[in-house]
A = this chain, B = another copy of it.
């Protein structure tokens, strides 16, 4: 949204602008080469001989439409090559990340700090905490506002990339108890991106048609297209959450679903979709306060549903179901992030930063012109 705003200034002195841009690009390219070399060395070191095949595979699904076969000699041939290929953008991406961290007063990546890994206990994570961020609410809101533009810019690049034939996309999966702030994430984080680039699906109780299919059928249908940010407001995880709490399917069917979900997400990721999963983690007391606030506000009463209190009675069972889902389905391909969400400002900032980190890593590129630039410039001039 803002990206477009900055670039849509009245068309004047296009020639002079182009000249200045060419100069900047040259300068950036040199810097970029250095950065790319450094990154390539780092990746090569990290991947090592043993992990070579894996790294090659990962890199190939990350940046390419047709996955490249690993070289087979165990060396991570693909990764460094790829970094050099998109060098111009890698540099900008690196800068973006740096700026984000500076803006937000962040030292570590949110994706590291908030990752839920095997052995973690949901009950040990305080919903009041603000991991990875040292500032207060005011700082957090400023950081959110500062980074809105950047998220829009990255999405615009991803969209542009898809117009040049790219197949990559992003999928943000949002889960959380009632009143945990899922809608606020849509408005305040996703809302900052140009509306054409976003595909939001709110999953309700499945329809008769949806129930007649496998539980992943409607999910598959809602996946983002190339260049889009797909957003799931609730998701296939309801099929191991509410379904588990109310024992809506036999135990063996339920247990199979975790494996099915992991396989499904692997397939989605392999097709070029970067998956960002967030669980908005609130406390039972905070939910009570939010429900009472809804009831007290005539402009919010329509959001309240008596069924919410009925579900609330199963709070502990829901937490247990989340614990299992987070543990069994936090994979390398699609890790879960638990976002403490008693502070709405923090949850919004954290989800924004998770998206920013993921998209900065993707380093989407503006595609090169698919036509002869000089010929077309003359054609337009003569038209």
Contacts and interface: CB of A to CB of B under 8 A. Distances in A.
A123 interface: no
Contacts of A184: 4, 8
Interface stretch (A74-82, A215-223, A369-377): A369-377
When all copies of this chain in the complex are counted, the total is 2
6 contacts: A160-B303, A288-B380, A291-B380, A304-B369, A306-B376, A309-B379
Interface string A126-166: 00000000000100000000000000000000001001100
A124 to B, nearest CB: 24
Contacts of A302: 160, 163-164, 366-367, 369
B195 A187 contact: yes
Contacts of A368: 301
B187 A304 contact: no
A183 B295 CA distance: 39
Contact of A304 (B1, B4, B312, B371): B371
Interface residues of A, number: 66
Secondary structure class of chain A's binding surface, majority of residues: helix
Q: Which 7 residue pairs across A and B have the least CB separation, nearest first?
A: A18-B296, A14-B296, A11-B293, A301-B369, A1-B191, A11-B289, A4-B187
Given A160-B302, A302-B160, A383-B312, A292 B14 contact: yes
Contact of A376 (B200, B304, B344): B304
A381 interface: yes
B292 A380 contact: yes
Interface string A171-182: 000000000000
A50 to B, nearest CB: 40
